[in-house]
Structure 1
Amino acid sequence: MSTPDASPVPAGLVDRFGRVHRDLRISLTDRCSLRCTYCMPAEGVPWLARSTMLSTDELVRVAGVAVGLGVTEIRLTGGEPLLRADVVDVVRRMAALEGPGGSPEVSITTNALRLPALAAPLRDAGLARVNISIDTLDRERFANLTRRDRLDDTLAGIAAAKAAGFTPIKLNAVAMRGVNDDEVVDLVRYAVDGGYEMRFIEQMPLDAGHTWERTTMVTQAEVLASLRTAFTLTEVPGRGSAPAELWYVDGGPATVGVIASVTAPFCGACDRVRLTADGQLRACLFAQTETDLRSLVREGADDDALADAFRACLAGKRAGHDIDDPLFLQPVRPMSAIGG
């Protein structure tokens, strides 16, 4: 009597918890044109040596291996990704990759300062979506938060993205107690009036100075309580692996989202893996270990070896980030060096 065959091992990027990874976040640079207080000190941080940064050919090759393994979305991050001189070419080449599911959707997270010049070329190159960081609508507060008087440039970048035809345009704000938590209603009104999608992010322990404290973080519950003083919120079903939980604003179609990485982590549905600008693969934003793809690429490894490195990295992915664990350790690298 024959026995049934063992279940086949799933193809693609699957970790030991069965999570299928389809989203690759690629940091194009650790440099940034702003100095946000929750990200880095006023004097900045030591930049990565340029010799360690992946070239465009190297980035595209690694991304191509990931797409071949089932990645269907590539998010370009930083630092500020638009500071990379050849960002339009990077987008064009990434969007042209082909995998089992076709070409990946390429998106970008940016502070928008260079979008007035780049929005249209990026759209023509195949960029599908933009996420834009804006923590306040008050000029003085913006200057204090970012240490740069650039609010008008950010707003111009948002308008340029809209004029170029990007949709949806998601606006991201980190909610901070006593800093901008009194603006959550105003930010949503600005987004709804402009046809944008507002997202609030719980502040995470990813600052370069390691000064994060839970008491200064505004929680998802607090954000929603503030919004309910001005709007009727109705939960949007079917979140899937998206990091933001969504609510319709006054019946929709406008929505507002909250990314509650600390108080309501979504690790169980995580489908993301990250590549730093210097070629280190990270299975989690809060990982303490990295897989060195740069050395493999520069030592002549073939695509099969790179694919094996992806799989090995994800084999060690933990069930969650454990921020609430008393033994939690903040990553050595700040957010600007990891990529959002």
Structure 2
Amino acid sequence: MSDVSLTDTDVLTRPMTDPFGRTISYLRVSVTDRCDLRCFYCMSEDMTFLPKADLLTLEELDRLCTAFIKKGVRKLRLTGGEPLVRRNVMGLVRSLSRHLSSGALHELTMTTNATQLAKHAAELADCGVRRINVSLDTLDREKFRTITRWGDLDRVLAGIDAAQAAGLAVKINAVALKGMNENELPALMQWAHGKGMALTLIEVMPMGEIGAGRIDQYLPLSLVRARLEQQFTLSDLAQTTGGPARYVRVAETGGTLGFITPMTHNFCESCNRVRVTCTGTLHTCLGHEDASDLRKPLRASASDELLSETIDRAIGLKPKGHDFIIDRRHNRPSVSRHMSVTGG
């Protein structure tokens, strides 16, 4: 990895701004499309993954992230697939941590399914990672195996314990699934809050062909919140973590609960983020088929000038909002690419 750090003179005084005046300061980078689970709302059971030769090398990912940091990104999240299944990914994390030390990057974080977390949690903390998101939809072992198709819940729970022992703040992300975990969500919230973790609930997003109808999976969070308010006192909070979640405080637990509602509430007015896939494709909106190839300019020159110009053009085309819909007539996804390819 590169040992070059950014200095104050490298950091742009005019950050990236899209056509609607939104400043882009948050980058989510998928380091792999592969995952060791097959959650049925995310992937088909027999996924065809990208050839490894198509993926950016770890050195290229480092250079790409550094270019975005030079252009004003202050929060960087590594995602997948499952980022911790990428060989030597901790080398990338350690290399990127130099931007934390220099002050150019304010936060380096990760979204993980926690299956590999027990062996990496301490090193993540040592690299300056302070908080992570863990995807977990149920505490029922049989349901967990059904949702993930073959996952081991105990391994995930051990990963969460290791993360907390290493001093990492953990936020649980749970997809609300009709007929699967909807009756368990109050207990999941109480468990998370009891362990000092926040919980964010997410609506199913219509991305990628998964071999099942999302109409059958979709559970509006407006309904979930109404149900929770029959048992708990929820108070809206103004806080934000730079993402799309809207937060409430739960009086009975003292914990924080977030709602990410791409279907029932368009949260795009404050969007400050873009995504880069493991192949170097930039998506300025999760819910659009927009795509800008960054791999070509990255490999075309040792200089970042062409790469920077390509990024600028893409930011200049960022749409005002997403077009997520559940297509009830044709039962097809709004976006053809899978979330595992885009980066969660």
1:258 aligned onto 2:259: yes
1:29 aligned onto 2:32: yes
Does the CA contact (< 8 Å) of 2:204 and 2:214 recur in 1? no
Does the CA contact (< 8 Å) of 2:174 and 2:202 recur in 1? yes
Could you say what the CA RMSD is over the residues aligned between the two structures, in angstroms?
A: 2.3
1:156 match: 158
After TM superposition, the structure 1 = structure 2 runs for residues 192-231 of structure 1, keeping only pairs within 5 Å, are: 192-209=193-210, 211-214=212-215, 216-231=217-232
Using the TM superposition, give the Cα deviation of residue 229 of structure 1 relative to its aligned residue in structure 2, in angstroms: 2.7
Does the CA contact (< 8 Å) of 1:53 and 1:277 recur in 2? yes
Measured in 1, the distance between the counterparts of 2:326 and 2:233 equals 35
Does the CA contact (< 8 Å) of 1:40 and 1:209 recur in 2? yes
Unaligned runs of 5+ in 1: 1-9
2:6 match: none
Deviates more, 1:115-124 or 1:301-310: 301-310
Does the CA contact (< 8 Å) of 1:79 and 1:337 recur in 2? yes
For residues 42-72 of structure 1, what are the alpha-carbon distances to aligned partners after superposition, in whole Å with 9 as ceiling and x for unaligned? 22x2111111111111111111110011100
After TM superposition, the structure 1 = structure 2 runs for residues 117-266 of structure 1, keeping only pairs within 5 Å, are: 117-167=119-169, 169-209=170-210, 211-214=212-215, 216-239=217-240, 241-250=242-251, 253-266=254-267
Measured in 2, the distance between the counterparts of 1:101 and 1:319 equals 31
Measured in 2, the distance between the counterparts of 1:265 and 1:228 equals 22
Using the TM superposition, give the Cα deviation of residue 210 of structure 1 relative to its aligned residue in structure 2, in angstroms: 6.7
Give SS of 2:109's match. strand
Using the TM superposition, give the Cα deviation of residue 286 of structure 1 relative to its aligned residue in structure 2, in angstroms: 2.0
Deviates more, 1:96-105 or 1:61-70: 96-105
Does the CA contact (< 8 Å) of 2:24 and 2:274 recur in 1? yes
After TM superposition, the structure 1 = structure 2 runs for residues 92-107 of structure 1, keeping only pairs within 5 Å, are: 92-97=94-99, 102-107=104-109
Indicate how the Cα distance of structure 1 residues 25 and 149 shifts in structure 2: closer, same or farther if over 3 A, else same: closer
Give the letter for the 2:189 counterpart: V
Deviates more, 1:99-108 or 1:244-253: 99-108
Unaligned runs of 5+ in 2: 1-12
TM-score of the two chains, using structure 1 as the length reference: 0.91
Using the TM superposition, give the Cα deviation of residue 116 of structure 1 relative to its aligned residue in structure 2, in angstroms: 0.8
Indicate how the Cα distance of structure 1 residues 38 and 274 shifts in structure 2: closer, same or farther if over 3 A, else same: same
1:331 aligned onto 2:342: no
Indicate how the Cα distance of structure 1 residues 70 and 47 shifts in structure 2: closer, same or farther if over 3 A, else same: same
Indicate how the Cα distance of structure 1 residues 144 and 210 shifts in structure 2: closer, same or farther if over 3 A, else same: closer
Give the letter for the 2:44 counterpart: P
Does the CA contact (< 8 Å) of 1:172 and 1:199 recur in 2? yes
Give the letter for the 2:168 counterpart: F
Using the TM superposition, give the Cα deviation of residue 208 of structure 1 relative to its aligned residue in structure 2, in angstroms: 3.1
Does the CA contact (< 8 Å) of 2:137 and 2:173 recur in 1? yes
1:17 aligned onto 2:20: yes
1:72 match: 74
Identity %: 38
Indicate how the Cα distance of structure 1 residues 208 and 305 shifts in structure 2: closer, same or farther if over 3 A, else same: same
Measured in 2, the distance between the counterparts of 1:194 and 1:271 equals 30
Measured in 2, the distance between the counterparts of 1:144 and 1:92 equals 35
Using the TM superposition, give the Cα deviation of residue 287 of structure 1 relative to its aligned residue in structure 2, in angstroms: 2.4
Does the CA contact (< 8 Å) of 2:202 and 2:261 recur in 1? yes
2:286 match: 285
Pairs aligned (count): 330
Using the TM superposition, give the Cα deviation of residue 227 of structure 1 relative to its aligned residue in structure 2, in angstroms: 1.6
2:10 match: none
Does the CA contact (< 8 Å) of 1:95 and 1:105 recur in 2? no
Measured in 2, the distance between the counterparts of 1:321 and 1:13 equals 20
Does the CA contact (< 8 Å) of 2:38 and 2:148 recur in 1? yes
Does the CA contact (< 8 Å) of 2:77 and 2:111 recur in 1? yes
